[in-house]
């Protein structure tokens, strides 16, 4: 796919999923035409990258609002929190909440798949990042779903999958259709989080284990993964239903501090 320029905005596709956006200073108010360009690119590419952006929290929320409604579900005062190994987990004196598990490897998952309403999207803004490691990797679940063998797809048709949080207080859990309908495109995608999946209702435990291993091998295929190596002042906003994401490990001597906005 080639880059497309509309006015001052250039959408440069990444491989195999996502797009980098050029020509926008996110400190400025966006015109309705620019918002429409970004929404169209978001629906098509599922991930948008903006580089070298010096932004405030209000700027980040304004961008997130282009593709959805800010959500304060869970531990996100005002719809924002921190993914950080700099701050201690929990609420600080500034009213910011730092999520637990801000360091080390994090397996593939959808955010809030253990809630009744999984998040529509996520925005991350890099304040401090390690020189190596700590990459975020994104798998295109739309492609993964198309790669499901017909017999497996038939086996899971109509089934519910149970996801459970391993970090949140009270460990919330929820059952969702394993073939989940995307709220905007209405495409059905495989809704399986390696990090949080516990069982497919109505399928024996050993068979679930086999299916989970198969799902993982399809989702974690390098052919459908975009690997993002963070630079300071990067903004990445992505579709939390079309894409799964994971974090690679990094040396804990390095600081990694990102601001996060939830899109409902």
For residue 251, is pLDDT > 70?
Answer: yes
> Span 41-61, mean pLDDT?
98
> Span 46-58, mean pLDDT?
98
Residues 6+ apart with CB under 8 A from 88: 98
| Domain boundary assignment for the chain | 71-264
Report d(CA 22, CA 14) in Å as an integer: 13
Cis upstream peptide for 16 (omega within 30°): yes
Report d(CA 103, CA 67) in Å as an integer: 28
Report d(CA 148, CA 154) in Å as an integer: 10
> What pLDDT score was predicted for residue 168?
60
CATH fold of 71-264: Double-stranded beta-helix (3.60.130)
For residue 210, is pLDDT > 70?
Answer: yes
Longest dimension (CA), the chain: 55
> Span 216-228, mean pLDDT?
98
C-alpha 74: how far from its chain's center?
16
Report d(CA 90, CA 92) in Å as an integer: 7
Q: Report in angstroms the alpha-carbon separations of 262 from 111, 153, 182, 197.
A: 9, 31, 17, 21
Q: Are 110 and 191 in contact (CB under 8 A)?
A: yes
For 61-75, write each residue's pLDDT tens digit: 999 999 999 999 999
For residue 170, is pLDDT > 70?
Answer: no
Helix (H) or strand (E) holding 109: strand 106-109
Nearest alpha-carbon partner for 220 in 249, 189, 194: 194
For 173-204, write each residue's pLDDT tens digit: 999 999 999 999 999 999 999 999 999 999 99
For 78-104, write each residue's pLDDT tens digit: 999 999 999 999 999 999 999 988 888
Q: Are 205 and 102 in contact (CB under 8 A)?
A: no
> What pLDDT score was predicted for residue 101?
84
> Span 141-161, mean pLDDT?
98
pTM beyond 0.85, yes or no: yes
Residues 6+ apart with CB under 8 A from 122: 111, 237, 238, 240, 245, 260, 261, 262, 263
For residue 51, is pLDDT > 70?
Answer: yes
């Amino acid at each position: 796919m080639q880059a497309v320029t509309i006015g001052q905005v250039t959408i440069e596709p990444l491989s195999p999923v996502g797009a980098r956006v050029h020509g926008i200073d996110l400190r400025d108010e966006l015109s309705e035409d620019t918002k429409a360009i970004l929404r169209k690119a978001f629906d098509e590419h599922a991930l948008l990258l903006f580089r070298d952006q010096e932004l405030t929290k209000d700027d980040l929320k304004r961008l997130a609002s282009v593709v959805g409604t800010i959500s304060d579900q869970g531990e996100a005062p005002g719809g924002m929190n921190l993914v950080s190994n700099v701050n201690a987990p929990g609420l600080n004196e500034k009213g910011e909440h730092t999520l637990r598990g801000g360091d080390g490897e994090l397996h593939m998952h959808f955010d809030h798949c253990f809630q009744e309403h999984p998040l529509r999207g996520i925005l991350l803004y890099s304040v401090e990042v390690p020189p190596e490691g700590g990459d975020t990797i994104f798998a295109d679940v739309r492609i993964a779903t198309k790669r499901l063998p017909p017999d497996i797809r038939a086996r899971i048709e109509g089934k519910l999958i149970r996801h459970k949080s391993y970090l949140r207080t009270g460990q919330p859990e929820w059952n969702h259709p394993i073939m989940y309908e995307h709220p905007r495109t209405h495409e059905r995608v495989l809704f399986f989080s390696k990090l949080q999946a516990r069982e497919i209702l109505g399928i024996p435990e050993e068979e679930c284990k086999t299916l989970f291993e198969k799902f993982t091998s399809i989702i974690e295929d390098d052919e459908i993964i975009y690997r993002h190596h963070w630079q300071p002042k990067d903004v990445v906003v992505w579709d939390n239903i079309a894409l799964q994401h994971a974090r690679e490990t990094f040396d804990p001597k390095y600081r990694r501090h990102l601001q996060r906005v939830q899109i409902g």
